[in-house]
Amino acid sequence: MDILHITKQHTGKMDKMWSLSTCCQLNANCKRNAAVEGSVCSKCYAMRMMKMYKNLAPCLEKNAKILSEAILPDDKLPKIKVQYFRFEAFGDLINETHVKNYFNICQKNPSTKFALWTKNPHIIKKVLDEGEYKKPENLKILVSSLFLNKSLDVNQWDFVDKIFTVYTKDYIEENRIPINCGNKKCIECRLCYDTNEIRYINEKVKWGVICIYLISHIKI
């Protein structure tokens, strides 16, 4: 049995997707971003859900400790049996060890296409700069913008594939922002997982009640 907890039943746009996530409550980077006024992280739904639904937090806490404290041997890495897989549906990268374990999971499962969402690309850069690890060919790295309506420049990192930004309705209409996320389920869209020319993933902000409902109905 895998020592890591993989979520295999999501609802909403993540329906039929598998994911591996960690706990934002144990992540100093998440706490720092949450303290930034006006940031997306300052209204973290994952943080609320872990406080409201007690069965969610232990799974994410366990993953966070396992992935960040030591490099896992190959026999402890999960065998992924799906074509598309998400890293961090809830939390974010904790440290370099965390990144290395994700890289190793990708290497062990070459037939699976992985995507990682993070607001901490500096951690990945440290790992790559060391020279021991290379970015796996079957991994797409998406950097999530910290603020609504403020996209980052994807070209500032040579290892980042896409930028993910959330926009408000008014800003979308005023600036004619093309929305390419949210109309399909991830398993049907696959824009973040497949190799393509799209560098910017744009999503319309959801009402908080809807987000809370979707997260609360994930089966752990």
Alpha-carbon distance of 126 to 63, in angstroms, equals 22
Cα 205 to chain centroid, rounded: 17
Plot region of 38 (φ>0 → left; ψ -120 to 50 → alpha; else → beta):
left
Cα 102 to chain centroid, rounded: 12
What confidence score (pLDDT) does residue 46 get?
60
What confidence score (pLDDT) does residue 49 get?
57
pLDDT in tens, 162-213: 999 999 999 999 999 999 999 899 999 999 999 999 999 999 987 553 343 3
C-beta separation of 215 from 46 below 8 A: yes
Amino acid at site 24: C
pTM of the predicted structure, to 2 decimals = 0.87
What confidence score (pLDDT) does residue 159 get?
98
What confidence score (pLDDT) does residue 212 get?
39
Check residue 208 and report its DSSP letter. H
What confidence score (pLDDT) does residue 194 get?
96
Alpha-carbon distance of 66 to 68, in angstroms, equals 6
Q: Phi, psi (5° rounding) for residue 103?
A: -60, -45
Alpha-carbon distance of 172 to 184, in angstroms, equals 19
pLDDT in tens, 33-84: 666 677 675 565 665 655 555 677 888 999 999 999 999 999 999 999 999 9
Residue 27, burial from CB neighbour count under 10 angstroms (0-12, 13-18, 19+): buried
Plot region of 88 (φ>0 → left; ψ -120 to 50 → alpha; else → beta):
left
Q: Phi, psi (5° rounding) for residue 205?
A: -60, 140
- By DSSP bridging, strand 113-118 and strand 139-144 are parallel
Tokens 């993953």 correspond to 63
pLDDT in tens, 2-23: 689 998 888 788 899 999 999 8
Print burial letters for 186-201: b (CB count within 10 Å at least 16), e (below 16). Answer: bbebebbbeeeeeebb
What confidence score (pLDDT) does residue 55 get?
73
Tokens 């296409």 correspond to 113
